[in-house]
């Protein structure tokens, strides 16, 4: 493809993307394909001869899109929001075009310096303590990582090394493995699975501590466990506190946990992957009280701040704990300005790194802090709207306090009914939602995800719930000989707010070979 063709096809692709977003409501949010659908459409070997761009581009609709779950559809309510916006997409385009590998400042100074500027901007937007900022001219600063999972793993490794070094200073004959086998870290039983996985990868024990009735980890639970573990000869070294858990968007009590970590010499990492974006709004900052005790803090603009994956930001108070812990410095990576600015390769696991800060820079500048606040507040108010619809129907119950853009609810009664409701919604296919279990209670999580979601979309979604509920309760009553009060006659005409279900024909793609 030459430059002229690139201009033409690039414009076509931009049009395609803009049309995709503008008309995304018209697409079924859920794919309707079975495993292997795409493989069966493909030849087994790569094409020997070049293909025309027209042929390739045509397959975006014919081959790719049937197997896409539309995460940016206003009907998508699974997991948490996955960020996307036009300025972010443009940032990725430019980053791909520049294509530098910014592992050190010298390999592309703007790649490092825009990252320093944007992580400082963001840190200030969230009102993080100034020790986390580059502009504080201390040892702290922010860095862009791929994911919150990678960050928690990296922090756990750095905390592990810090403990090993400390103990080996006292006793140089100690073997690393002797220390590692005694280390123990903690999180609440509601922490994201990536926290437990970081323990498995780092070969240290990670204990899940019971959260309270609000799914929050309290100081007294942590303190009692630390005492118990010290009595057994273990070495508590790491706590990952969650601000906005995946299951119910609960908040650990940092004001209690923080001082305990400080007294005990334990590294406190804060995982605010989703909820961190909301701290741009002052009204949510009470949930981060105690943040000053953290050694590291991470949140994902690729979740709730309009940036496309992958863009997770981590701040550390003392960069030496990363840079010195895993330092390798071969001559081919050295440069003459070394030491004056961060060489971000020391702050992460891989060597290479993309120019990801461009999209954060474009997003913050295009929306402004006020625009980002408005976006977050809109999502929270849509979640509240949904909560109020659910609360007005006494067949449902809310499972956890709705604080941000997540509503956790279920059908009253045995878990089986909510399981059936979820199955019915999957079969229906008009909306996308996922279930979760907390303390043996099965419930549904509705997250407000897409930038374009409106009140009408939330009403639409609620109506799908009502309709599916009627069907489930009808089936449930019939099978169990009980009456759970259907509200509408399922065989009668649909209430006017219910969109009739279309029977989707699942296309047979298997005959097409390319
Ligand atoms: N932490 C929390 C609270 C999350 O909700 C998630 C994902 O939803 C993660 C961590 C993992 O995020 P990532 O995909 O960036 O690793």
Q: What is the pLDDT of residues 306-347, one digit of tens each?
A: 999 999 999 999 999 998 888 887 788 888 888 888 999 999
Q: What is the pLDDT of residue 509?
A: 37
Q: What is the pLDDT of residues 452-467, one digit of tens each?
A: 999 999 999 999 999 9
Domains of the chain, each with CATH number or no CATH? 1-84+369-514 (3.90.1150.170), 100-355 (3.40.640.10)
* 246 CB near ligand 1 (under 6 Å): yes
User: Which residue has its alpha carbon closest to ligand 1 atom 15?
Assistant: 147
The total of other beta-carbon atoms located within 10 Å of residue 19's CB is 10
Average pLDDT over residues 128-147: 96
Cα–Cα distance, 395 to 304 (Å, whole number): 31
Sign, Cα dihedral of 480, 482, 488, 492: positive
pLDDT confidence band for 405 (50 / 70 / 90): very high
* 188 CB near ligand 1 (under 6 Å): no
- What percent of the chain has pLDDT above 70? 92
Helix/strand/coil for 185: strand
- 24: phi then psi, degrees, rounded to nearest 5: -65, -25
The total of other beta-carbon atoms located within 10 Å of residue 250's CB is 26
Cα–Cα distance, 453 to 407 (Å, whole number): 15
Find the Cα–Cα–Cα–Cα dihedral 246, 387, 371, 141, rounded to 10°.
Answer: -20
Cα–Cα distance, 444 to 486 (Å, whole number): 20
Average pLDDT over residues 66-86: 95
Ligand 1, from 187, 195, 274, 276: best to mutate by most atoms within 8 Å of Cβ? 274
Ligand 1, from 187, 194, 311, 348: best to mutate by most atoms within 8 Å of Cβ? 194
Burial code of 68-104, b = ≥16 C-beta within 10 A, e = fewer?
A: bebbbbbbbbbbbbbbbbbbbbbbbeebeeeeeebbb
Q: What is the pLDDT of residue 216?
A: 97
* 145 CB near ligand 1 (under 6 Å): no
For strands 141-145 and 441-447, give the pairing.
unpaired
Q: Please tell me the distance between residue 244's alpha carbon and the centre of ligand 1 in angstroms.
A: 10
Q: What is the pLDDT of residue 492?
A: 42
Taking CA atoms, 425 is separated from 52, 431, 466, in Å, by 41, 7, 10
With 90 as the cut, is the pLDDT of residue 491 above it? no
Which helix (H) or strand (E) covers residue 441, if one does? strand 441-447
Are 158 and 203 in contact by the 8 Å Cβ rule? The answer is no
What global pTM score does this model have? 0.90
pLDDT confidence band for 481 (50 / 70 / 90): low
* 298 CB near ligand 1 (under 6 Å): no
Whose CA is closest to 406, among 443, 446, 378, 452? 446
With 70 as the cut, is the pLDDT of residue 108 above it? yes
Whose CA is closest to 297, among 446, 152, 120? 152
pLDDT confidence band for 490 (50 / 70 / 90): very low
Helix/strand/coil for 206: strand
Whose CA is closest to 448, among 388, 393, 498, 384? 384
Q: What is the pLDDT of residue 475?
A: 74
pLDDT confidence band for 473 (50 / 70 / 90): confident
Q: Across the chain, how many H-helices and E-strands are there?
A: 14, 11
Q: What is the pLDDT of residue 496?
A: 37
Cα–Cα distance, 358 to 352 (Å, whole number): 16
Q: What is the pLDDT of residue 512?
A: 42
Q: What is the pLDDT of residue 489?
A: 39
Q: What is the pLDDT of residue 477?
A: 67
pLDDT confidence band for 232 (50 / 70 / 90): very high
With 80 as the cut, is the pLDDT of residue 499 above it? no
Q: Which residues is 185 bridged to in the sheet?
A: 206, 238
Are 29 and 429 in contact by the 8 Å Cβ rule? The answer is yes
Q: In the 3-class helix/strand/coil scheme, how is 324-373 assigned residue by residue?
A: CCCCCCCHHHCCCCECCECCHHHHCCCCCCCCCHHHHHHHHHHHHHHHHH
Q: Please tell me the distance between residue 126's alpha carbon and the centre of ligand 1 in angstroms.
A: 18
Q: What is the pLDDT of residues 361-383, one digit of tens each?
A: 999 999 999 999 999 999 999 99
């Amino acid at each position: 493809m030459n430059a002229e063709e690139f201009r033409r096809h690039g414009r076509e692709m931009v049009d395609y993307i803009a049309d995709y977003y503008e008309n995304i409501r018209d697409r079924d949010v859920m794919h309707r394909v079975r495993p292997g659908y795409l493989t069966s459409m493909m030849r087994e070997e790569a094409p020997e001869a070049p293909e025309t761009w027209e042929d390739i581009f045509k397959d975006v609709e014919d081959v790719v899109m049937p197997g896409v779950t539309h995460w940016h559809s206003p009907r998508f309510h699974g997991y948490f929001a996955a960020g996307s916006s036009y300025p972010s997409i443009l940032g990725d385009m430019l980053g791909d075009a520049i294509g530098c590998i910014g592992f050190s400042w010298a390999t592309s100074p703007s790649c490092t310096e825009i990252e320093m500027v944007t992580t400082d901007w963001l840190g200030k937007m969230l009102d993080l303590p100034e020790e986390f900022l580059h502009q504080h001219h201390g040892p702290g600063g922010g860095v862009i990582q791929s994911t919150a999972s990678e960050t928690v793993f990296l922090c756990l490794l750095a905390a592990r090394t810090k403990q090993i070094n400390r103990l080996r200073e006292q006793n140089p004959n100690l073997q690393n493995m002797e220390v590692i086998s005694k280390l123990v870290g903690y999180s609440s039983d509601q922490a994201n699975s990536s926290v437990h996985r970081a323990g498995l990868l780092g070969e240290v024990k990670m204990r899940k501590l019971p959260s309270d009735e609000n799914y929050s980890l309290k100081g007294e639970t942590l303190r009692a466990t630390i005492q118990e573990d010290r009595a057994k000869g273990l070495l508590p070294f790491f706590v990952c506190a969650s601000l906005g858990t995946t299951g119910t968007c609960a908040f650990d009590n940092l004001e209690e946990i923080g001082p305990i970590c400080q007294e005990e010499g334990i590294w406190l990492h804060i995982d605010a992957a989703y909820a961190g974006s909301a701290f741009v709004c002052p009204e949510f900052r009470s949930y981060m009280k105690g943040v000053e005790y953290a050694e590291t803090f991470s949140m994902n603009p690729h979740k709730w701040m309009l940036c496309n994956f992958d863009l997770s930001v981590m701040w550390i108070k003392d960069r030496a704990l990363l840079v010195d812990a895993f330092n390798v410095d071969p001559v081919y990576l050295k440069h003459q300005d070394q030491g004056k600015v961060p060489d971000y390769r020391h702050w992460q696991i891989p060597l290479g790194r993309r120019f990801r800060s461009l999209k954060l820079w474009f997003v913050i500048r295009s929306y402004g802090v006020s625009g980002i606040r408005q976006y977050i507040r809109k999502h929270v108010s849509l979640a509240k709207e949904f909560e109020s619809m659910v609360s007005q129907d006494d067949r449902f119950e809310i499972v956890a306090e709705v604080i941000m853009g997540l509503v956790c609810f279920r059908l009253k009664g045995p878990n089986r009914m909510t399981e059936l409701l979820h199955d019915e919604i999957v079969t229906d296919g008009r909306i996308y939602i996922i279930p979760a279990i907390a303390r043996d209670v099965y419930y549904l999580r509705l997250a407000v995800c897409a930038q374009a979601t409106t009140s009408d979309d939330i009403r639409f979604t609620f109506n799908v719930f009502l309709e599916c509920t009627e069907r489930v309760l009808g089936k449930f009553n019939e099978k169990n000989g009980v009456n759970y009060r259907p509200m509408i006659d399922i065989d009668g005409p649909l209430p006017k707010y219910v969109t009739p279900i279309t029977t989707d024909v699942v296309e047979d793609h298997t005959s097409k070979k390319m």
